[in-house]
Structure formats: structure tokens, C-alpha cells
Amino acid sequence: MKVYVIFYFQVHQPFRIAPYSFFDIGTGKSYFDEDLNRAVFNKVSDRCYLPANNLFKELILESEGRFKISFSLTGTFIEQAKLYRPDVYQSFVDLWKTGGVELLSETYYHSLASIFDLEEFVEQVDEHIKLMKREFGHEPTVFRNTELIYFDKLSDVLINFPNLQTILIEGADRILMGESPLYPRWSANHAHLLLLKHYKLSDDIAFRFSDRSWPEWPLTVPKYVRWVNDLTLAEGQGRNLYLGLFMDYETFGEHQWAESGIFEFMRHLIRALLKEPMIDFLFPSEALKTLNFTPKALSVPTPTSWADTERDLSAWLSNPLQWNAMKSIFELLRLAKEKGRWDLVPTIRKLTTSDHFYYMCIKYFQDGDVHKYFSPYPSPEVAYKYFLNIIADLEQQLED
């Protein structure tokens, strides 16, 4: 029996919208805040993308390919990387060329199309697959939806893409009902293998690593390796275990600063895990080939995600501001397609990115809360106003 460690990192940047006042409607002002987007991209590149890519490249090369990771790179990220930081784009290409990286499939625009418009969802997934082929010559076989949103119907829809065999999902308590996230499951329709995120061990690194009020702080390499080894204690039948460590790539250097020691921790953790006889690294697509048992099926009737403590859609859809804004943008998109306004479609699609609605979330918009930390706007109301003004401008353009 083995413990397979599956690292998956989400790499995403939204096109943040500009402070677009009511009086900007009809003036031709750009919807997106170029300066802000460039500044954020530069900051994250220097703090996270470049140092993390260098670290993982080094570890892949020195382990001669035994260390493996997977990335999901959104279309909006690739566009911004090519636009603002070709060096960062090249660094991802170089990392990919080591062979130690698997690239996943998702919606090009990191949107919630799967909730609002399944036709649009299929188009955005298709656009992303084409992007992966074009940029990396790679045809993905593993899918992850925006923010790990998953529900039974999603698997039905993904049958449209016969190459996709595996889906990454959140190991939420309410769908597992006390069972372990370490065993992959079949989707309710048995069409896809579901790999589950182990949220405790993932979040120990992603959220708690530098939290001094956490009783386990400081997190040391031997301690974490022990936790991983201990996972085998509960397994009596020799089944392989699949440890899904899924997190935002910005964990490294951005959410956990370099000063916290996160990079050195990862370097030593991976070297230590490579020495453990029971532990191997795996690409998500390899899970299917290494199964030594028949997985059970898992039914997820209502959407789960990896966001907030609720692990549902409430980060983007818990108040009417978010709902009205999202409903409007998908309606507009449908209208633009009907009218054949393909000149506007890419712009409208950039507005379907989930981050815009995350900024309108009220439930956790207190000082120090994550929504506020990640928002470039002073309040959810302000984010909503700008967004609605842009919608009004687009509506006028669509009438021309």
C-alpha cells in the first residue's frame, strides 16, 4: 500500500474592474484597471510565481521526476502573464518542460458558468482546452471547476469532453458524511473519478502555516511527515491512499510570506517525503491507473466548493447584490451571442470571473477577513456599483 501525495496548485488572476462611475457610462473608458492589474501581477510574480517556480523546478530536477505537481492555469492568468510578465510566462513553460507538471482543465475565465449557463460553461471549458493545446501542446484529462465547485450534474455535462476522466473536488464533510477523503470516488453517474481535497492537511499549509495562534505552530517538517504517515494507521485492507493537497499557488510567498519560512519548509518537506518508503507523488491523472480497489460512488446533489468555512457557493452568491450582478452578466452574454456581437463576448466573459462577485460578499467583509484582504475596493457596495455601471454601458453598446 502507498500514500500518494497529489499536489494541485491554482494559478489565477482576474481582470479587476476599474473604478467605473455612473458618469463613465458611454465615455468609452476601459472597464478594466490596467495599472492595478499590472501592479498586482508584478507583486505576485516577484513574491510567489518566480520563487515558487524556481523551487519546484529544482525539486523536480533533483528528484529525477519523482516529485510531481499539477497546475490549473486560467485563461485570464495566461493572458496577463503574456501581457505584463513574459518572463513569468516563460518560467511556467520551462517548469512544464521538466515533465514534472500536469496541467488541468477548467473554465478559461474562472467563472461560475457551471451554475448559471451550462452551454456557456461548455464553451469556456472548450476555450481553455484549446488554450492548453496551443500554449503547451497538452490535452488535459483532469478537470477542476472554479473554486472546486462540484455537483452531480457537472459530471453529466463533462461527458461532452470524452478525454476528461478525473475531477478534483472539495472533501467537504457534508458530502463525505464521516468517510475519509483519502479514497477516490466515482461520480454519481460513474463517468468520472473524483479526487478529494484533504482540507485539513491542505489548509495546515495554505492557511495556518504562519498563524501563531494555531496550537501546532510552528509547523515543522518532521511533524507534517508524521501526520502523513499516520494516515496509513486507519487503513487495514492495504488500499492505496490519495492525499489531495489542493491550494492556491499564491500560498507560497503571497498568503504565507517568504519571511514565514514557507519556501524552506516546502523544500525540506518534499525532500523528506521523497525519503519515506510508503509515500510517492502522483499526477492527478495517474490515480485512475494506480487504484487497487473499487471506489464507491459519491452523490453531491447541491454544489460544494473550497471557499470559506461553508464550502458552498455563499462566497459569490449569498446576497442579492452578487445574485443580481451575476444573473445580469450571464443574461448579457446570452444576448451578445444571440445578436452575434462577438466583438463584445470576450470582454463580457472576463466579467464572469468569480472574483468580481467575491468582492461583493458582505458576510465576511470585516477588517482582517479574507474577502476584505483580497478586495481592491473599499466596500462590497462600491464593487457592485462599478460592476452595474459597466453592465449598463454594455447594454447601451448592445443596442447599437
Active-site residue set: 147
Q: Is residue 392 near other proteins by the rule CB under 8 A?
A: yes
Q: Is 292 in the site for other proteins (CB under 8 A)?
A: no
**Span from 42-50, 109-117, 246-254, 319-327 in contact with other proteins (CB under 8 A):** 319-327
Backbone angles phi, psi at 103, to 5 degrees: -105, 135
Q: Which of 122, 272, 370, 382 binds other proteins (CB under 8 A)?
A: 382
Cα separation, 167 vs 20, whole angstroms: 37
Nearer to other proteins, 64 or 400 (CB): 400
Binding segment for other proteins among 43-51, 191-199, 280-288, 385-393 (CB under 8 A)? 385-393
- Tell which one of 118, 323, 345, 363 touches other proteins (CB under 8 A): 323
220 contacts other proteins (rule: CB under 8 A)? no
Cell numbers 457596495: residue = 381
CB closer to other proteins, 21 vs 292? 21
Instruction: With contacts defined by CB under 8 A, name the span among 1-9, 139-147, 239-247, 381-389 that binds other proteins.
Output: 381-389
**CB neighbour list of residue 169: distance below 8 Å, 6 or more residues apart:** 148, 150, 194, 195, 196, 197, 300, 304
Q: With respect to other proteins, which residue has the nearer C-beta, 14 or 380?
A: 380
Identity of the residue, 52 or 321, whose beta carbon is nearer to other proteins in the bound complex: 321
Residues 6+ apart with CB under 8 A from 38: 84
> Are 372 and 366 in contact, with CB atoms under 8 Å apart?
yes
- Record the cell numbers describing residue 163, joined without a space: 478525454
Note whether 360 and 326 are within 8 A (CB). Answer: no
Angle, in degrees to the nearest 10, between helices 221-230 and 262-275: 50
- As measured in angstroms, the least distance from the Cβ of 352 to other proteins is 15
Q: Tell me which of 319, 334, 347, 369 binds other proteins, using CB under 8 A.
A: 319
The Cα–Cα gap between 298 and 29 comes to 48
Helix (H, G, I), strand (E, B) or coil at 44: helix
Q: Residue 116 CB, nearest distance to other proteins (Å)?
A: 13
Classified as helix, coil or strand, 70 is: strand
Phi, psi of 96 (to 5 degrees): -60, -40
In whole angstroms, the minimum distance from the beta carbon of 324 to other proteins comes to 4
Centre a 10 Å sphere on the Cβ of residue 382 and count the other Cβ atoms it contains.
15
Cα separation, 359 vs 349, whole angstroms: 17
**SS3 call for 137:** coil
Q: At closest approach, how far in Å is the CB of 329 from other proteins?
A: 9
Q: Kindly state whether residue 176 participates in binding other proteins, applying the rule CB under 8 A.
A: no
398 is a site residue for other proteins (CB under 8 A):
no
Q: Which of 292, 299, 302, 396 binds other proteins (CB under 8 A)?
A: 396
Span interacting with other proteins, options 62-70, 89-97, 286-294, 314-322, rule CB under 8 A: 314-322
Q: How far apart are CA 78 and CA 260, in angstroms?
A: 28
**Quick one: how many helices (H) and strands (E) in the chain?**
18, 12
> Site map for other proteins, 7-46, x if CB under 8 A?
--------------xxx-xx--------------------
Q: Are 171 and 244 in contact (CB under 8 A)?
A: yes
CB 94 to other proteins: min, Å: 44
The one among 276, 327, 339, 346 contacting other proteins by CB under 8 A? 327
* N- to C-terminal Cα separation, the chain: 64
Tell me if 163 contacts other proteins by CB under 8 A.
no
Sequence letter at residue 320: P
Asked if 389 interacts with other proteins (CB under 8 A), we say yes
Among 79, 152, 211, 395, binds other proteins (CB under 8 A): 395
328 in contact with other proteins (CB under 8 A): yes
Does residue 391 interact with other proteins by CB under 8 A?
Answer: yes
The site that binds other proteins (CB under 8 A) totals a number of residues, namely 26
d(CA 13, CA 80): 8
Q: Using the Cα atoms of residue 134, residue 137, residue 143 and residue 149 in order, give the sign of their dihedral.
A: negative
Residues of the shown chain interacting with other proteins in the complex, contacts defined by CB under 8 A: 21-23, 25-26, 319-321, 323-325, 327-328, 331, 362, 381-382, 384-385, 388-389, 391-392, 395-396, 399
